[in-house]
Amino acid sequence: MAAATTAAAAARVGLLYDERMCAHATPDGEEHPENPERLRAIWRKLSADGVASRCMIMKAKEAEDKYIASVHSQNHIKLMRSISSKEYDSRRNKIARKFNSIYFNKGSSESAFLAAGSVIEVAEKVAAGELSSAIALVRPPGHHAEHNEAMGFCLFNNVAIAADYLLNERTDLGIKKILIVDWDVHHGNGTQKMFYSDPRVLFFSVHRFDYGSFYPAEGDASYCFIGEGDGKGYNINVPWEHGKCGDADYIAAWDHVLLPVAEAFNPDIVLVSAGFDAALGDPLGGCCITPNGYALLLTKLLGFAQGRIVMALEGGYNLRSIANSVSACAKVLLGDKFRFDTPDMQPFESSWRVIQAVRDELKTFWPVLSNRLPENISLRSRPSQIELYSSGSDSEVEDLPDAIASVNIIQITYGIISESLSKLNLDEDKIATKTTSSNVMVEGPTDSVEPQNDGSAAVSTEGISSLSSTWRSELSKVYVWYASFGSNMWTPRFLCYIQGGKAEGMNIPCFGSHDTSPPRGSMWKTVPHRLFFGRSSTPCWGTGGVAFLNPEINHTENSYVCMYKITLEQFNDVLFQENRLVKENGESGKTESPDSPLIGLSEIEFVSRNKGVHLAPIKDSWYSNVLYLGEEDNLPILTMTCPSSDVERCRSGELPLCPPSKTYSATLIRGLMEGKHLDADAAASYINTAATRGLTTGAYVEAS
């Protein structure tokens, strides 16, 4: 009798699909990864596999504004409601360009409200016991959408709206604690922010991070962002350092982070932000989870909340892999048995290191994470052959063996920062000519290098590995002036980059330089570059923008810089740390940094001649642009800032301009006052002006 009851309960699986959500499409029919065929491909697969006929099929209904308003602003709701109306026909595309990775058409409004309402609908029925579990096939996706902003293909945050609805609108259902599991390959930035201080929601996101360069490229995807106030400890990020992570890596994150914490949390329902762009074959994710891998991850969640699970579709852009993966998950919810088999069950060494770092960060809040990880685990440092195989389309895998074709083959679209910076290529496919000295590759003839828009040129450090064994001793004898315009203006903070540790206001410590000798001197000056604050958070300072200098010279305004006389070896160590290239080896406990310098003697000559250099090996990092600001006492003055491409992305709205947090502002003001050029009021005014002024002359941005 018990077995029959269990089987009957397992069969009450809701499946919501509504063709109306396919009306959201690009305005002119141009190709886009987030397109209506994603839903249709899943539905065809579920129908062909006989899965759909075993589920309770549900239709969507639009969410009411009052429920969406629990997590989104009235202005945002109003815009999403009206964006598809005729009054916006002439400016719809222009408005879309103001957002990060967003398009609108005449079907966007209805689709957005249906997607949000669909997740509410299935979550309510599962919470009420009418369904044992459910899958909401919705689009547009939701986990990137923030309180007042659409971004990353997402218009409303569907899962967040449903979670808030259960907690605050339907208290009669008894849902007091919700576990949100976000296994989309991208960080669920919007969901994180909406519940960052709420201990009723345990948010778990496992995602590619790539040292902060993978979309959405925000520092708060780091493992050190664990919540605030009452919600501290209830935000868990597992940020992979590179692509190719697959079944074994995710299973390790489940077994050693998610499952023990979830057991202690004991949720009343589990909501899964079910993106399938970490699947093998996805063109955007670059990871390698198989359909059976997803099935096993979901199976491990069935032990919580009496199996009350709601899956809401997020990303996933390979039609074959997303359809196969959703089908595998649906079969799990229906109670089907499956055999888990993977070609390589070894997690990456880097994944093991990340898992240990996550546990260390959270063990104060979850004592179950205090236990040591298993030792003598077999780990790997490189991908398997199947993971390295590249395919351009679904059709190209039709003739492969079934075991492989069923999940497609990975298409590699994103580069990975190499652990050794000695074998990297140019930014663009141009003829390269070697200079003398350290074999640096530069574009064009050595006596006439064409600068980029910011007055700098791109350089690759291929060949520089010849210095790897001796570069530190050689560069320790060469001095430069390092010009700081941000938090490093305050000497105690800058010394963290030299001697390690952290100063007041910092969330995480610095590793320090190999040479911990203090600067040989310091001085202040002004430079003809505009100070601005971009991005929206960092692991070190938390929420708020951080300082950048516009690489373009602007003689109508000046910015203050504090210059430190340090060795070129120390300058490279600061550059490594600013760009998150220094890591701690989980096994030895020692810190590891690149074995080659980013700036050597030849680069110094190149920088001084061309006024700057964009470092190709770290081209996607925040501070990959080294500027030459002149000389002092016959020594070059160098600083590091963003590339011109990032400035353009800030101008267009693709990257946010964001005022600094109070803590970060206080550090900047301390530095300015320490230089005795400005008093507290003048320093605060200087920072506020930079924070509220846009990147075009006379333009200001609204400070929040």
Catalytic positions are 144
Integer CA distances (angstroms), 402 to 8, 405, 407, 408, in order: 32, 5, 9, 10
User: If we measure between CA atoms, which residue out of 600, 604, 613 comes closest to residue 476?
Assistant: 600
Q: Which ranges constitute the DSSP H helices of 464-555?
A: 471-475, 491-499
DSSP state of 231: G
What's the gap between Cα 85 and its chain centre?
Answer: 33
Name the β-bridge partners of 348.
Answer: 380
Integer CA distances (angstroms), 410 to 19, 34, 351, 700, in order: 29, 18, 19, 44
Spatial neighbors of 365 by CB under 8 A, at least 6 apart, are: 226, 232, 233, 234
CA angle 229, 232, 237 (to 5 degrees): 140
Which segments of 172-267 are extended strands (E)? 178-182, 201-208, 235-240
Residue with tokens 């770092």: 357
Contact between residue 134 and residue 311 where contact means Cβ atoms under 8 Å apart: yes
User: Residue-wise over 443-472: b if at least 16 C-beta within 10 A, else e?
Assistant: beeeeebebbebbbbbbbbbbbbebeeebb
Taking each helix axis from N to C end, the angle separating 319-333 and 291-301, rounded to the nearest 10 degrees, works out to 30
CA angle 446, 452, 456 (to 5 degrees): 70
Spatial neighbors of 523 by CB under 8 A, at least 6 apart, are: 562, 563, 632
Integer CA distances (angstroms), 377 to 341, 374, 475, 684, in order: 19, 7, 39, 52
Contact between residue 583 and residue 416 where contact means Cβ atoms under 8 Å apart: no
CA distance 560 to 549: 10
